[in-house]
Each structure stands twice: as structure tokens, then as C-alpha cells.
Amino acid sequence: MKLIIDYKKKEHNQILTVSIYLFRYMKIFRINPREQLLYYLKRYFEGDNNNTFSINSYINYKCLAKIIWYRLKKIKKHMAIDYFDLRTIIGTTNPLATTFAYGILNRVLPNSIYFLNETIPIKDYYIKIIPTFSSQKTLISFTGVVNISTFYMLYQYISIKRRLKKYDKCKSASDRILNENGNGKYQGNG
């Protein structure tokens, strides 16, 4: 499974694209997370303001975030970064600020790649940082190709679904035990 993350920023335009390829060549999913998030937020705020929906969604997302965080710790050994490309043009109207930004990026990026390489192997990377002192021009282009074992991802997907299903069963059982007053006594229909 191949994951490609592509980010480009030119002036005020930002484009972030995430593509997933099955067996490295068949594209099965492509999304622009920024547009998707804005769409869902707009849809949520235009809909009815039912607080129970947002609370239940928060609880489900909180549980899902815990499960995914636990799984991400284990996925590192099944993952490799094939290619990492970062091209940056930094420019401000103040040459001193451009120099400081260039110096900081020139020192921080290689060190962060070195520390990332200790946890996830990076096969090839390319970094290019260009300062422009004359104009206020900023361009950022980032492309990363991450390979993950397909069978391991399938196993993780099934196990996450099973844990969420188990969580829903436990939650519905606990809801039946408590009645409207919250005293813990089950009140049947009879």
C-alpha cells in the first residue's frame, strides 16, 4: 500500500492532497482533507443544533482516536518512507527576517529528518530551501511517498472495527442499566 501526501502553498492558495494506492499502482482513494473538513463543518453547522448528536460523536471520535493512537505505535515497523521532497522559497520584504527564517529552516529540517529516520526508515529525500530577499514571495511544495504493508493495514482495519463494535455493545448495555433518573435501576415495560 502506498500513501502519497502532496502539499503546495503559493501565496494564499493552499492545496493538500492525500492519495492511497493499493499494491503501489492502483489508486483507490484521493482526498483533499481541507475541503472535506470545511464541507463537513458547514454541513454540521447548517443542520439542526442537537447537542446529543455532537456529544455522542465526540465520545465515538475520542474512543476511535485512542484506538488509532495505540495502533500507530505498532505500525512503525511495517512502514517505510520511500521518497521525501521538500522545496521551499522563502521571501519577505525584510532581508533580516528572510535570513533568520532561512537559517532556522536550514538547521531544523535536516535534524528533524535525522530523528524521523531513527523511527521510520527514509530511503531517499531531497530538501531545497531558497531565500529571496527582494520580494514577498513564499512557495512551499512537499511530496512524501510512504509504503505500508497491505496485509498489516487490512488486519489493523478489521481489529479497529471489532473494537469499535465491542465499544458500542458495552455502551448500549450501560445505557439500558441507567434509567432517566440515573439511579441505576432498570425499569422494564411492565
pLDDT digits (tens, 9 = 90+) for 13-62: 778 788 888 776 777 777 787 787 777 777 766 665 554 445 555 556 66
> Is residue 185 classed exposed, middle or buried when 0-12, 13-18 and 19+ CB atoms within 10 A define those classes?
exposed
3-state secondary structure 37-102: HHHHHHHHHHCCCCHHHHHHHHHHHHHHHHHHHHHHHHHHHHEEEEEEEEEEEEECCCHHHHHHHH
Q: Can you give the pTM of this predicted structure?
A: 0.56
Number of domains in the chain: 1
What domain range includes position 127? 2-176
CB neighbours of 189 closer than 8 A, spacing ≥ 6?
none
In the chain (190 residues long), the average pLDDT of successive 10-residue segments reads 77 78 76 78 65 52 71 78 85 83 88 86 87 77 82 80 69 49 48
Residue 183 lies in a domain: no
Residue 189 lies in a domain: no
Residue 187 lies in a domain: no
